Structure 1
Amino acid sequence: MTTGQRIAAKRKELELSQENLGEALGVSRQSIYKWESDTSLPDIDKLVALSRLFHVSVGWLLGVEEEQPAAPSPEAASGELSDAQLRMVEEIVDRYLAAQPKPKKRRRWPYVLAALAVLWGGWRLMERLDRMDNQYNNLSNSINNISYSVDHQINTITNRVEEILKSQNDLTADYGTEMTGWDLSRNTVTFSLRAVPKTYVEGMEVVFLADSGDGPAEFPAQESPGRAFTGEVTCELTDSITLSAVFVNGDTRQTQLLDNYSGLYQDSLPQLDIYGLESCFLHEERGKDGLFHLAEGYGWLRDQELNLDTKFGAVDVRDLKVGLFKNFRLVTWLEPCEQPQNWDVDAEQFFRFDAMDMDLERGDILHFAAIYTDQYGRRGVAPSIPYFECFGDEISWSDSSDGTPYYVLSNYVF
């Protein structure tokens, strides 16, 4: 299992929605979706929070440990005797009484002794259970501390090795990149770059490269005091932008990667959430005719989600359409509708999914997605979370992903 699949499995065991888990961790539902689809990994502090919430180790979440630590029984945790332990105490008392010689006269002291024995045995058993519970908690804390320490050491060693290898291969003694501006109407972003060559040669020139996915574009650099070369680059705003420096010495050109920016285009678009459509898929089974009969359902978008502030400024949602997609191909668009009667939902836009029959094969992925444009004419996609999969004779939550990012518009056919 991947880290994302482990997070999804434990979340479902606790009967938490992705939104509930996000609220517990202080992150968005989109972040939970990206973790569970293995699009991104949680930060170390979130991994520790997940391990505590799920009562598992960080190592298990990352897949370096196969077994989960056993949780203490409810009786041991509460300090109360279980039914089996009570039966054991009763059996001890019965055997004690049976072994006593039968007195000729009715006397009270054997019963007093028996009662004291019960109280003493119960007290000793409770004391032992408390000690065992404390020992378990201490052991559990020690294991978690060791796991955290090992994870921290591994990360430290890994980062240190990367730094050593990078310094050995670097052509720069120092460098820096910074996003300094953008123009959403042109869908461009501007960066300020700086590079100091490790080995300076008189007459050396530097050219900066910016690659937004369609090949690198060159931008001249100016030499500044301290043999630093600086410059500004403007390129298309995409989800993967690579910035590099080329050191030119005569006929020799050596290229050094400076930085890579990911997810900027997605961050410049509003993050929409579609609610309410999961009921169309849940517990649907293949009929006798071999088809799946998907139920009618309603979805909605909340008011505040149609005009959002992003790190790039305010963005308005326009030309919004919601569709059902099978393996990223459009099956049908949903019709906008009025708010259904007796629905107390604070929403701006409602959509109705009409019941339909579908022929599905094992492994087919189904999900709803909103396709929209912003005020600058840029298009974006907001997938519903979670997505569903055909498991042969039923449709259910999908625990796997082929690695395709659901928020990338170019993956959709409509």
Structure 2
Amino acid sequence: MTVGERITQHRKNQQLSQESLGEALGVSRQAISKWESDATLPEVEKLVAMSRLFHVPVGVLLGVEEAQPEEPSQLDERQLAMVEEIVSRYLNVREGAQKSQTARQNRKQGLFALAVLMLACAVLLGAYRNLKWKIDGMGDEFRENIERVKSSVEIQMDSLAGRVEDILRAQNQLTAVYAVEREAVDVGADTITFRLSATPKTFEPGMKATFVAESSGTTEQAAQGEGPDFSAELTCPLSDSIALSVCFQRGETLETQLLEVVTGAERGTMLYCSSASYDRERPGGVPEGGLFCIGRNEVGASFSLYDPAYSDAVYAQGAEIGYFVNSKPAFTMEAGPAVTFSSGGDDFEVILPETCFPVEEGDIIVLGAVATDNFSRQFRWAPWACQVKEGELRVVEPPAEWAQ
């Protein structure tokens, strides 16, 4: 049964018409009709108002719980009889205690009276806890149902907003189709070449197009052809952020559309270093006598290309792997490529023996690798770092120069 069918059922159980229900809730008959036909969902406050009007929890209207008979808010006849009997016994015991002359009888009767009182309290406390538990449970279910409705509405609103944004973006675009492809990277010349194409939504004879790249400077390249399909190869300086646009010219009118923002083109390579035996919580021994000591450690490093435009133009010539103090080598080993991939990536591996080297308070110790490519560029990466503080080693994030 749907939410609308449940609303219809409870409305009819209350012998209400759609008009009268709408008047009670402050909405139109058409709104009630849309709810009952499941065309729309009622707002949260309307669901709460209907639950009160129909004398059912909100969860029943939403179909997440079954209707339950109302629990009595007072003690039933059996519980009242128990309480009356307990009170009667207590009064009898009290009267007998007053007539008793011996301490022994007083003690026994007092203990019995105390037991009776404890039993009465237990019965009443149990009834109270049972009632409170049911009320709290109803409150939790009510809050959960409200949160479900709220979450559903928010998801629908976000989805609708996203669709509207996509429609507006498509309407504001000047191009019907466009494409951005990376042709080549010349690391030696510090340039990158793109192949760009764009077709305007509205083409007019005599229209011209120019492709523009903006990074550290501005590079322009006039498009080839008479249209409507314009294309060009554009070579611009390497940069980590390159904005590519197309500019259409109709007579004296110029219109520009951003096509794509290319990121990470300048450093199309990356270095990843891993240690086989380090402990992130305790990276080494505690400094004693100003020495940092650490056991044997197997360390691997990978120099790889994540930009296919680099092809085999970039490769690592070697790597320095080991321990660095304040980014300066403390104990390192030179490593040549162990495996060379067709993509131009290289793997390095070294086994660092047990070693000790001096450190001071505040020093930052890094296990890392420094690789140099065939264009003399250096790449750093560190899997962990620690700092000497108050005579102990404390794990810290590697310094910024060790981040990719």
TM-score, normalised by the number of residues in structure 1: 0.46
Query: Could you say which structure has the larger radius of gyration?
Result: 2
Of structures 1 and 2, the one scoring higher in RCO (CA 8 A, sep 6+) is 1
Please give the TM-score of this superposition, normalised by the length of structure 2: 0.47
